Structure 1
Amino acid sequence: MDAVIIGAGFSGLYMLHKLRNEMGLRARVFETGEGVGGTWYWNRYPGARSDSDSYVYGFTFDRDLWESWDWSERYPESHEIRAYLEHVAERFDLYRDITFGTRVVSATFDEDAGSWTVTTDHGETVTATYVISAVGALSVANTPSFPGLEDFAGPTFHTGHWPHDGVDFAGTSVGMIGSGASAVQAVPLIAAQARELTVFQRTANYVVPANNGPVDPEVREARRQDWAGIRARIQRSNFGFELYMQEKGAADVSDEEREALLEDFWERGGFHIWLGAYADIFFSTEANDLVRRFLDRKIREKVHDPETAELLVPKDHPFGAKRNPLDSGYFETFNEPHVHLVDVRTNPIAAITPGGLRLSDGAEYAFDALVLATGFDAMTGPIDRIDLRGRDGRSLREKWAEGPRTYLGLMSHGFPNLFLITGPQSPSVLSNMPVSIEQHVDYIGRIIADLRARGAAVIEPTKEAEDAWCAYNQEIANATLFPTAATWYMGANIPGKPRVFLPNLDFVGPYRAKCDQIAANGWEGFAIDGESTPAGEHVYTWAVAG
C-alpha cells in the first residue's frame, strides 16, 4: 500500500478520502471496532454527546456534505455522531478500504527499503510507504488499579466502553467512581433510573450550562447558507469555534460589567464563558479568581445542601485549566434524596469489595452495579499501545518515556513518514477537534503530494527543530495557569505518566498560519531525503488570533 491509516474516526475517514479519492493513492484503514466512529463508537454511556456546537462538529471540506446533513440539537448525541460518520463513509465509498475488528500491534521502519511493515493482531502484515496514526486523543480508557476490582460481584461498566445495547439500571443501587465530563453527562440519566446512586468524587469540576435543545430553523438555515464564511472563521479562530475573547480582561472591568457579561454568557450556555470571555483568566490568578467567585456562587445556588455544595465547588485548580464539562442538570441531581456524593480526595478508596467499596477510614458502601467514569490515558496513550519502531529499531514508546517529542505535533524525529493526526504538542484537544483534524489531514496530504512531485522517498523532522518545538511548547504552557492543575492535559490522571503539558497553545488559526509558512519556506524544520531547511524564528513565536 501507499499508506496505512490506523483508526476509522473523524481523522481516519477524512485521511482515507484525501489519499484515495483525491490523490489516487492506495490506502487502507485498520480499525479496532466493528464500525466507524472512533471514540464515538465506544462511548455510548447515557448522555454521551459532543461539547462542540453541532454545526461546527463535522467536516467542512465538502459543501454538498455540509448542506446535506441536519443535526437535531445544539449538541449532537453519540448515536447521531455515529450516524453522521456512517453517512460520510457511505457517501465517499470508504467502507471497502476499512478493515474492522483489527488492531495494529506494531509498525517497523525499514531504512533500506524506505517503507513501513505494519502487523495486526490477526497476524496480517502490510507494507506501506506512509503510516498515519488516526487513533484519536481520547480512545484508551483509564481503569485505575483499585485493589479487589476483579472481586466485585455485580456488573462493572466503564463509560469509555459502554455496552452497545445499553444498560438498564431500574431498581438498582449504583456506585459511580469519577466526576469528570462523562460523569457529568451520565449522572442525571442514571439517577433517573436507579433506586440509589452514589458518586465517589476525587476532584470537583467547574461545569457550565449546555443550554442544549433544538436549533431554531432560521438559524440552522442561515448557517447552512454560510458554509464558506463559517469555514473561514473557524479555521482562523483560536479554538475552532465562532467564539472570540473580550478585548479587556476580567481584572480590567468593573464588578458590574464583569457580572453582566458572565451572567449573559452563563445563560447562553456552552463554552462562551470559557473561550469567549476573558483571556487574562489563563494567565492571572487574580483574574481567574474573579470569574471563579461567580461560578462558585452558581454552584451554591443550584445545590440545596450546603455541605454537598461545598464538595462540588472546585478548590484545587483555576477555572479553564481543565476542559470544563457542559451541564444538563448535573448539579440539581444532587438535590434528589436518592443521590449521594462522597468525597474520596480526603478519604480515598482503599479497595473494591464483592458488594461495593471500602474507604481508607473503613467506611463501606454497598451497591449492585459499578460505573467507572475514570477517563482516558489521553493523547499519548493510544499511540503508546502500538509498538512503533523507527530508525535503528528505536521504539517511539522508549523515545517518549519522559514525555512526547514531536515537531508540530505531527511527526517525530527518527520516524520517517510516520504522521500523527492531532498528535501531542498540536492544538488538538484545546480545539474543536474536526477543525484541527481537517487541517492536519490537508497538511499531510500536501506533504505527501510534494514528496511524490519531487520523487523524494522520506520526510522527518530534524532533531534541532523537534528539540526547539518541545522547549517552546513547554515554555508557552508555563506562561499560563494550565500547568498548575493536575489534569489529563498534564498526564496527571495516569500514575507514573510524565508531568508535561500535552497539547499545544498556539491555537487553531495561528498554528495553521505557522504550518502554512513552514511549507512556503521549503518545509522548514523537516529533512527530505536527508536535506533540511532550518526552522525560522516565526515557528517559535507565540500569538493569538485577532
Structure 2
Amino acid sequence: MSPAAEVKGNGVAATSSMDVVIVGAGFGGLYQLHYLRKMGYKCKVVDNAGELGGQDWTWSERFPSWPELRRYFQYVDEKLDLSKDVQLNTGVKSAEFDVNSSQYPQEGIELEGKKVAVIGTGASGVQTIQEIGPQVGHLTVLQRTPNLCLPMNQHKLDPEVEARVKKEGGYEKVFDYRRNTFGGFHFDFLEKNGDEDTDEQKKELYEKLWDGGGFRFWLATYKDLLFDKKVNDTAYNFWAEKTRARIKDPKKKDVLAPLLDKQPHTFGTKRPSLEQRYYEVYNQDNVDVVALKATPIETFTEKGIKLKDGRDLEFDVIILATGFDSVTGGLVQIDIKGTDGVSLADKWSKGTWTYLGMTTANFPNMYFLYGPQGPTAFANGPTIVELQGDWIIDAIDYCEKNNKKTMDATAQSEAGWTKHVAELCDITLFPGTDSWYMGANVPGKPRESLNYAGGVPRYVRETKEVAEKGYAGFNFDAPYDTGKLGEKVNALKLN
C-alpha cells in the first residue's frame, strides 16, 4: 500500500510523509504502532494527551487504578520504544482524501468542606461521587436515571501469586480464552436459559456471580438474560434487593434502586458501572439526591442551580458528569472528507454506515478501532482493539503484497453490514431502552444500534471470512477522479 499520509505540522513540526498515521495513543493506537512498525511501515501516532496512557510488570490490584494504568503505559513505552513515533499534545482538526498526492488539572481540585453538586450518575458520576463524598462539606447528586451499579469487589493482588501464574502460562491462557467469549472477558454466558433453573437455583447462581464481582452478574449469567424480559426481571429483582439493603433512607432507596414496578430500564441494557462504596455514600448525613425527572433543573444561577419546583441550591463547585457523544463522536468531531467531498459527519448525520465496524465507503485506506457497529461497548476494550488491530494489519499487508494502493468498502457491503448489525440488536432487549448504546443520549443523534450484538466469536468469524475471500466487499484501486497523478492518500491537519 504505497500511498502515504501527509502530516501537516501545527506550527512547530515540518510537514512529513508517513505510511500510516494513527490517531490516539491508547491501547489500540499503540498496538497498531508496534505491529505496523515491525512490518516496516513508517508510522506516526498523534494524541491530544500530554503523555502515554523499568522492571517487569506486575499488577497490584484486580481492577487497576488510573495512576497504575499510566505507569503501565510508561512501562510498555520503555519496553517497546514507542515514544519516538508518538507526537503528543497534538489533535487532528481535519482529514481529507487527497487523490493527487480543553484540558483539566490532573492533580485534582480542593473540595474539602465545600458545597458540591454532581450532575449525572453514569460511570464518571459514580466514580466521582464515591471518591468525593467523604471529603466535601455537603454533596448534592442530581440524578436523571439510576445507575444499576454492580459491586467491583476490588482487592489487592499477591505479587508472588501473580508471578507464579505468569510463569505457569496463566496469562497466555486468559488471553487465548477471552477471544472465544461473548464479551471478550475471561468469563462467559452459561450454556442454558433462565427458565431451565428453579427460583432457588437462580438465586444460588446470582449470589455466586454477585460475590465474584465485576461484570459477571451481567455477562456470565443465563444466555437469554438480554433476550427474555421475564428472565431479566429475576436478575433485576435480585439486584434491587441487594442494593436497597445497603441504603438506609427509604426515600433514597426508591430514587437509587427502585422496585421492579418502577424499574428505570431493563437490567443490562445500559452499561452498569462497577462501584466500591457508591451506595454507602448516600447514608452520610451530608449527602442528598435529587430525582431530576420529578424535579428538573430550570437554570444555572450565579450561586448555583435553580430547580423547577422553585428551590435555589447554592454550591461552591458544580461537577458535570453528563456523558459524551459515544462510539461515533470521536470520529465525526474531526472534519474528515471522503472521495466524494462529503464529510463523515454529514454522511452519518441520518444514520451510521460501516462495513465490519472498521471501514466506511468513500473513505479509502481509513480504518477505525473500537468504533461503531463493532462489538465495542458490548465487549472488553483491549480484546476488541487487538482483534480489529490484527485484521487491519493483515488487510494492509494484503494490499502491500498485491500492489494495491487503495482499499475501500463498497456501498453495497456497508449497507448489508449495517442491516446485519440492526437485526442482531433487534432480537435483544437493548432497543427498548434509551441509552448511548442506541445513540439516544445526544439530542438529534439518530437512534440506532451502534454496537454489534453477536458476540466476539461470531464477529471474528465473520470478519475472517471476508479476509479469506480476498476481502470481499471491498474495491481496490477504484478509479477516483484523480485529476493529476499523485500518491498522497490522507492529509491531516493537526492542532
* Same-fold call, TM cutoff 0.5: yes
Decide whether the 8 Å contact of 1:491 with 1:499 is kept in 2: yes
Q: In 2, Cα distance between the equivalents of 1:339 and 1:392? A: 55
Q: Which residue of 144, 151, 165 maps to 2:107?
A: 165
Q: Deviations over 1:480-529 (max 9, x none)?
A: 01111111111111111111111111221221122222111111211222
Decide whether the 8 Å contact of 1:403 with 1:498 is kept in 2: yes
Structure 1 residue 218 displacement after superposition: 5.8
1:7 aligned residue: 24
2:220 aligned residue: 276
**SS of match in other structure, 2:202:** helix
Q: Does 1:377 align with 2:336?
A: no
Q: In 2, Cα distance between the equivalents of 1:255 and 1:380? A: 41
**SS of match in other structure, 1:87:** helix
Decide whether the 8 Å contact of 2:58 with 2:163 is kept in 1: no
Decide whether the 8 Å contact of 1:250 with 1:291 is kept in 2: no
Stretch deviating more after TM superposition (323-332 or 215-224): 215-224
Q: Does 1:341 align with 2:283?
A: no
Structure 1 residue 392 displacement after superposition: 2.1
Structure 1 unaligned segments of length 5 or more: list them: 38-64, 114-140, 142-160, 532-546
Decide whether the 8 Å contact of 1:422 with 1:436 is kept in 2: yes
Structure 2 unaligned segments of length 5 or more: list them: 1-17, 480-495
Q: Does 1:403 align with 2:339?
A: no
CA RMSD between the two structures? 1.7
2:123 aligned residue: 181
Q: Does 1:427 align with 2:378?
A: no
2:62 aligned residue: 74
Q: Deviations over 1:384-438 (max 9, x none)?
A: 1111111121211111011221001100011100111122000112111001111
Partner amino acid, structure 2, of 1:421: L
Percent identity of paired positions between Structure 1 and Structure 2? 38
Q: In 1, Cα distance between the equivalents of 2:137 and 2:225? A: 41
Q: In 1, Cα distance between the equivalents of 2:325 and 2:44? A: 26
Q: Deviations over 1:48-72 (max 9, x none)?
A: xxxxxxxxxxxxxxxxx9x932111
**SS of match in other structure, 1:174:** strand
Classify 1:3/1:220 alpha carbon distance in 2 versus 1 (closer, same or farther; 3 Å).
Answer: same
Q: Deviations over 1:185-242 (max 9, x none)?
A: 2212201110111100000011111100112456523541323322210112111111
Q: In 2, Cα distance between the equivalents of 1:18 and 1:247? A: 36
Partner amino acid, structure 2, of 1:200: L
Classify 1:242/1:222 alpha carbon distance in 2 versus 1 (closer, same or farther; 3 Å).
Answer: farther
Question: What pairs up with 1:161-240 in 2 under 5 angstroms?
Answer: 162-217=104-159, 219-224=161-166, 225-240=169-184
Q: In 2, Cα distance between the equivalents of 1:417 and 1:504? A: 22
Q: In 2, Cα distance between the equivalents of 1:292 and 1:342? A: 23
2:47 aligned residue: 31
**SS of match in other structure, 2:346:** helix
Q: In 1, Cα distance between the equivalents of 2:227 and 2:81? A: 47
Q: In 2, Cα distance between the equivalents of 1:403 and 1:87? A: 40
Q: Deviations over 1:91-126 (max 9, x none)?
A: 21111111111111111112344xxxxxxxxxxxxx
Partner amino acid, structure 1, of 2:202: R
Q: In 1, Cα distance between the equivalents of 2:158 and 2:352? A: 44
Decide whether the 8 Å contact of 2:182 with 2:189 is kept in 1: no
Greater relative contact order (Cα 8 A, min sep 6): structure 1 or 2?
A: 2
Q: In 2, Cα distance between the equivalents of 1:79 and 1:443? A: 31
2:334 aligned residue: 386
If the length of structure 2 is used for normalisation, what is the TM-score?
A: 0.89
Classify 1:272/1:219 alpha carbon distance in 2 versus 1 (closer, same or farther; 3 Å).
Answer: farther
**SS of match in other structure, 2:208:** helix
Q: In 1, Cα distance between the equivalents of 2:278 and 2:157? A: 22
Q: In 2, Cα distance between the equivalents of 1:423 and 1:247? A: 29
Partner amino acid, structure 1, of 2:225: I
1:285 aligned residue: 229
Decide whether the 8 Å contact of 2:126 with 2:278 is kept in 1: yes
Q: Which residue of 363, 372, 381 maps to 1:415?
A: 363
Q: In 2, Cα distance between the equivalents of 1:371 and 1:471? A: 39
Decide whether the 8 Å contact of 1:206 with 1:325 is kept in 2: yes
